[in-house]
Amino acid sequence: MSDITATAKNEQGMVNAVDSKDDYLLRVKDLCLHFRTTKGIVQAVDGVSFELKRRRSVAILGESGCGKTSLARAILRLLPRNVHKFTGEVWLNGTDVMKMSDEWFRQNVRWVKASMVSQAAMNALNPVLRVGYQVAEPLMIHLHMSKEQALQRAREMFRLVGVPEDFLHRYAFELSGGMRQRAILAMALVTRPDLIVLDEPTSALDMLTQANIFNALKDIKRQFDVGFILITHDISTSSDLADEVIIMYAGQLVEHSLAQTGYRAPLHPYARGLMASVPTLREDKRLEFIPGQPPSLISPPSGCRFAPRCPQRFERCAQEPPTFRVGEHGELVKCWLYAKD
Amino acid sequence: MTTMTDEILLSVRGLHTWYELKKWGFFHAGYVRAVDGVSFDLRRGEALTVVGESGSGKTSLLKTILGLAPITKGQIIFAGQQLDGRGKSLAWLRSQVGFVQQDPYGALPPFMNVRKILLEPMLINKFGTPAEREQRIREVLEEVRLVPVSDFLTKFPHMLSGGQQQRLVIARALVLRPSLIVADEPVSMLDASVRVEILELMRRIQKAHQLGVIYITHDLSTVRYFSERVFIMYAAKVVEKADVREIIHNTLHPYTKALLAAIPDPDPENANRYRDVPPGEPPSLVKPPSGCRFHPRCPVRIEGLCEKEEPPAFEPFRDHQVECWLYRT
Ligand SMILES: Nc1ncnc2c1ncn2[C@@H]1O[C@H](COP(=O)(O)OP(=O)(O)OP(=O)(O)O)[C@@H](O)[C@H]1O
Ligand SMILES: Nc1ncnc2c1ncn2[C@@H]1O[C@H](COP(=O)(O)OP(=O)(O)OP(=O)(O)O)[C@@H](O)[C@H]1O
Ligand SMILES: [Mg+2]
Ligand SMILES: [Mg+2]
């Protein structure tokens, strides 16, 4: 569990014996991404810290609008124009990429070290280029491969994600939704990045295709030195890939646990409510739901952001924002219930 | 209202809904067979769920029942009257059937407030006196728990959360006191934490008013929170019909089995195992496979039979029907 706890120790000012950078694929510290809007500043990502070891995958879960996509965009620096504040540290393979220029980041990090499959990416393929060429393109641009080499690699990737080879020569509109999504996945994989961010990668697909794509992802995870960040609404499906679980609420990370705790016995009251609301097919359980709605990210509550909806809140919750606590098994949880003092 | 009718509220017989494809030059490009031979009865006060993949024809089935898509072949009999999708019978039908659309965000007119949204269908259908209409607006808002009602009356859709918008869509479907509600993916756009709340709300209303409800979803795991009876749709056909528990514990059709294998429950062990699902994709509805539509993907197909002959419905267990040759008698 030490993989999760380092952040907490740091936050609490404890000594973190060896800063074994190389073990970590990703370390995010106090990341903020705020947007400017006519109604005010939207705190879409507000002080998020977490770490991910190499070859691990983490699911980022939370309700619509809690900042999951914004967090991914902040990590990959895929920013819209109306950014108000973009601060914090993002260490990828031991290097703080936040210190890099945009140009350098675009040339040497995005696609090369970390790639992303965006929400609704299915429709993002270029309609006038053959899909094989599109998948090979990042190799030619970023890794300066020859066209033949790149296409060869693209062909391998197609096989890996389950697209028949002759589809290399087709155009996007000639592919079904499932095949298009696989092609996008092949594109994210083709440069062999260390980190792949998947934002709702299968939510538009049918269940059988979705299961097939997750089988392919599991294969990839076994074969390559790659870590995944999986962002999804679909909590059940996320458990197909996740070693760890991060729960976000109103722009903040409220819990980071290993899958065992995250799915079976979450600690944060919001995480518990969320997990208790997931319908299960095989198990007869009484479903619960969380009354109320998430706060505005323009003027979030000052104490704990979940306090107004929390069944277990007490005075302190409305007064002070909670800091990270370490749970019994090394989970990180941002909740005053776990304060020992 | 005629409460003297038979027990059957809706009877669908051999229904086909085909959409004609645009012609290419002088070629006839064919049809999308979105619903291809579906039959069932729905009793008054009964709730039914139709589960199917994207593109399997669920919405088309509902739209045909609502008179929004053509009946290519077959019959729909609602409250004893055969529907022909025209004029008077259509207007009457729409006053009797409430529709909850697939996308709550697109379903509500953005420039009308809550009161206006609920008033509109009553005005169109000349429902009650002005005082009765105001009374009815309050009643349905209370029923869907948009309370205190006075806080909501003047709100516009964009001021409501996704869950509240969906409650409003449900309120609008209820306002004319229909005897049948059809709900197309009423919760799939909502967060898990509000989904169940909405499903349970619908179920409560369904029972309280003895409504017939057809609930459509791609998510089998939500079914048991809503209805007992479930239909599984694959490629424009209903391939299996049974109670939800029976479907889960005594699954018959190979497609239903694959579907169950594909649906995870949140379980940390999932990451350590592969899902046992057949490869391939749902078939084209323009040129569906011959014989059984699932045969190209079916791990247990019977060579020489399944690719040739369309399986009829067999009933190997009481109230459990399946269109699959494995169960031929
Ligand atoms: N470019 C932007 N300008 C202003 N606000 C934005 C922008 N992008 C996102 N937001 C807001 O930031 C918040 C977080 O959005 P984000 O897309 O990260 O949420 P999410 O968790 O990915 O939601 P979903 O599950 O619906 O995809 C939301 O309130 C959203 O409206
Ligand atoms: N007006 C139309 N004209 C032509 N084809 C159509 C039309 N409406 C639907 N279709 C096609 O009919 C088939 C069934 O569509 P339908 O919308 O009924 O599926 P569905 O089960 O509701 O899918 P989803 O879960 O994605 O909503 C699809 O192949 C669709 O592309
Ligand atoms: Mg998102
Ligand atoms: Mg539909």
pLDDT at A113 over 90: yes
Average pLDDT over residues B146-172: 90
Exposed/middle/buried for residue A247 (C-beta within 10 Å: 0-12, 13-18, 19+): buried
Q: How far is CA A75 from the centre of its chain?
A: 9
Average pLDDT over residues B54-74: 91
Task: Determine the pLDDT at residue B230.
Answer: 96
CATH value at residue A25: 3.40.50.300
Domain membership flag for residue A51: yes
Exposed/middle/buried for residue A262 (C-beta within 10 Å: 0-12, 13-18, 19+): buried
Domain membership flag for residue A174: no
pLDDT at A18 over 80: no
pLDDT at A17 over 50: no
pLDDT at A8 over 70: no
For residue B288 and ligand 2, the question of a CB distance below 6 A is answered with: no
Between helices B114-124 and B162-174, what is the axis angle to 10°?
20
Average pLDDT over residues A3-26: 51
Convert the pLDDT of each residue in A243-252 to its tens digit: 999 999 999 9
**In the structure, what pLDDT confidence band is assigned to residue B6 with cuts at 50, 70 and 90?**
low
Task: Determine the pLDDT at residue B154.
Answer: 94
Strands of the sheet containing A40-53, edge to edge, are A40-53, A24-37, A83-92, A95-96
How far is A142 from A148, CA to CA, in rounded Å?
A: 15
Domain membership flag for residue A73: yes
Bridge partners for A59 per DSSP? A230, A245
Convert the pLDDT of each residue in B125-139 to its tens digit: 999 999 999 999 999
Ligand 1 atom at minimum distance from A63 CA: 25
Ligand 1 atom at minimum distance from A62 CA: 21
Q: Are B192 and B24 a contacting pair, CB within 8 Å?
A: no
**How does strand A332-334 pair with strand B320-322?**
unpaired
Convert the pLDDT of each residue in A252-273 to its tens digit: 999 999 999 999 999 999 999 9
Which secondary structure element, helix H or strand E, spans residue B48, and what is its range? Answer: strand B47-52
Task: Determine the pLDDT at residue B319.
Answer: 95
Task: Determine the pLDDT at residue A2.
Answer: 46
User: Nearest CA to CA, how far is B279 from chain A (Å)?
Assistant: 7
How far is A41 from A21, CA to CA, in rounded Å?
A: 34
SS3 labels along chain A: CHHHHHHHHHHCCCCCCCCCHHHEEEEEEEEEEEEEECCEEEEEEEEEEEEEECCCEEEEECCCCCCHHHHHHHHCCCCCCCEEEEEEEEEECCEEHHHCCHHHHHHHCECCCEEEECCCHHHHCCCCCEHHHHHHHHHHHHCCCCHHHHHHHHHHHHHHHCCCHHHHHCEHHHCCHHHHHHHHHHHHHCCCCCEEEEECCCCCCCHHHHHHHHHHHHHHHHHCCCEEEEECCCHHHHCCCCCEEEEEECCEEEEEEEHHHHHHCCCCHHHHHHHHCCCCCCCCCCCCCCCCCCCCCCCCCCCCCCHHHCCCCCHHHHHCCCCEEECCCCCEEECHHHCCC
How far is A214 from A266, CA to CA, in rounded Å?
A: 24
Domain membership flag for residue A207: yes
For chain B, what is the mean pLDDT? 90
From the CA of A177, the nearest ligand is 2
Copy the structure tokens of residue B82: 């055969």
Ligand 1 atom at minimum distance from A73 CA: 18
Task: Determine the pLDDT at residue A309.
Answer: 94
Which secondary structure element, helix H or strand E, spans residue B233, and what is its range? Answer: strand B229-234
Q: How many CB atoms lie within 10 A of CB A319?
A: 12
Task: Determine the pLDDT at residue B160.
Answer: 87
Copy the structure tokens of residue A337: 């219930």
Task: Determine the pLDDT at residue B65.
Answer: 92
DSSP structure string for B297-310? G-TT--TTTTTTS-
Q: Are A109 and A116 a contacting pair, CB within 8 Å?
A: no
Task: Determine the pLDDT at residue B284.
Answer: 86
* DSSP letter, residue B28: -
Nearest CA to ligand 2 atom 31: B55
Domain membership flag for residue A98: yes
**In the structure, what pLDDT confidence band is assigned to residue B188 with cuts at 50, 70 and 90?**
confident
Interface size between A and B, measured as CB pairs under 8 A: 121
Task: Determine the pLDDT at residue A177.
Answer: 80
Average pLDDT over residues B34-44: 95
Domain membership flag for residue A57: yes
Task: Determine the pLDDT at residue A6.
Answer: 47
Average pLDDT over residues B185-201: 84
For residue A35 and ligand 1, the question of a CB distance below 6 A is answered with: yes
Task: Determine the pLDDT at residue A10.
Answer: 43
pLDDT at B280 over 90: no
How far is A33 from A252, CA to CA, in rounded Å?
A: 11
Convert the pLDDT of each residue in A295-316 to its tens digit: 999 999 999 999 999 999 999 9
Domain membership flag for residue A44: yes
Task: Determine the pLDDT at residue A287.
Answer: 85
**In the structure, what pLDDT confidence band is assigned to residue B103 with cuts at 50, 70 and 90?**
confident
Global ipTM: 0.84
Backbone φ and ψ for A63, nearest 5 degrees, come out as: -70, 160
Share of chain A above pLDDT 90, in %: 61
Residue A295 alpha carbon to ligand 1 centre in Å: 13
Sequence-distant (6+) residues with CB within 8 A of B15 are B35, B37, B38, B39, B61, B64, B71, B73, B74, B75, B76
Q: Are A28 and A88 a contacting pair, CB within 8 Å?
A: yes
Domain count, chain A: 1
Strands of the sheet containing B229-234, edge to edge, are B97-100, B180-184, B212-217, B47-52, B229-234, B237-243, B320-322, B314-317
Average pLDDT over residues B9-18: 96
pLDDT at B218 over 60: yes
Share of chain A above pLDDT 70, in %: 92
For residue A7 and ligand 1, the question of a CB distance below 6 A is answered with: no
Residue A262's domain spans which residues? 2-113+193-338
Average pLDDT over residues A96-124: 87
- Contact yes or no for B278 and A208 at CB 8 A: yes
- Contact yes or no for B264 and A239 at CB 8 A: yes
pLDDT at B88 over 80: no
How far is A326 from A319, CA to CA, in rounded Å?
A: 21
Average pLDDT over residues B240-253: 95
Q: How many CB atoms lie within 10 A of CB A103?
A: 8
Task: Determine the pLDDT at residue A1.
Answer: 44
**How does strand B314-317 pair with strand A332-334?**
unpaired
For chain A, what is the mean pLDDT? 88
Average pLDDT over residues B287-297: 95
Lowest mean pLDDT among A4-13, A103-112, A228-237, A332-341: A4-13
Sequence-distant (6+) residues with CB within 8 A of A270 are A247, A249, A254, A255, A290, A306, A309, A310
Name the residue in chain A with its Cα closest to that of B279: A212
pLDDT at A35 over 60: yes
Chain B positions with Cβ closer than 8 Å to A: 53-55, 161-163, 191-197, 218-222, 224-225, 248, 258-268, 270-271, 274-275, 277-282
Copy the structure tokens of residue A223: 């074969």
Task: Determine the pLDDT at residue A196.
Answer: 96
How far is A46 from A299, CA to CA, in rounded Å?
A: 12
Task: Determine the pLDDT at residue B114.
Answer: 97
Ligand 1 atom at minimum distance from A68 CA: 21
For residue B31 and ligand 2, the question of a CB distance below 6 A is answered with: no
**In the structure, what pLDDT confidence band is assigned to residue A15 with cuts at 50, 70 and 90?**
very low
Total residues found in chain A within this entry: 341
- Contact yes or no for A277 and B195 at CB 8 A: yes
By Cβ distance, the residue of A63, A177, A263 closest to B266 is: A263
**In the structure, what pLDDT confidence band is assigned to residue B54 with cuts at 50, 70 and 90?**
confident
Residue A336 alpha carbon to ligand 3 centre in Å: 28
Rounded alpha-carbon distances, angstroms, from residue B183 to A225, B47, B287: 45, 11, 29
pTM of the full structure: 0.88
**In the structure, what pLDDT confidence band is assigned to residue A42 with cuts at 50, 70 and 90?**
very high
A52-86 burial: b if 16+ Cβ within 10 Å, else e:
bbbebbbbbbbbebbbbbbbbbbbbbeeeeeeeeb
Convert the pLDDT of each residue in A61-76 to its tens digit: 998 889 999 999 999 9
Q: Are A263 and A248 a contacting pair, CB within 8 Å?
A: no
Convert the pLDDT of each residue in A191-247 to its tens digit: 999 999 999 888 777 888 889 989 999 999 998 889 999 998 889 999 999 999 999
DSSP H stretches of helix in chain B: 58-65, 87-96, 104-107, 114-124, 130-143, 149-152, 162-174, 192-208, 244-249, 254-262
Copy the structure tokens of residue A176: 């079904």
Copy the structure tokens of residue A181: 């999504």
Which secondary structure element, helix H or strand E, spans residue B19, and what is its range? Answer: strand B8-20
Q: Is B197 helix (H, G, I), strand (E, B) or coil?
A: helix
How far is A104 from B168, CA to CA, in rounded Å?
A: 50
Domain membership flag for residue A81: yes
Task: Determine the pLDDT at residue B24.
Answer: 65
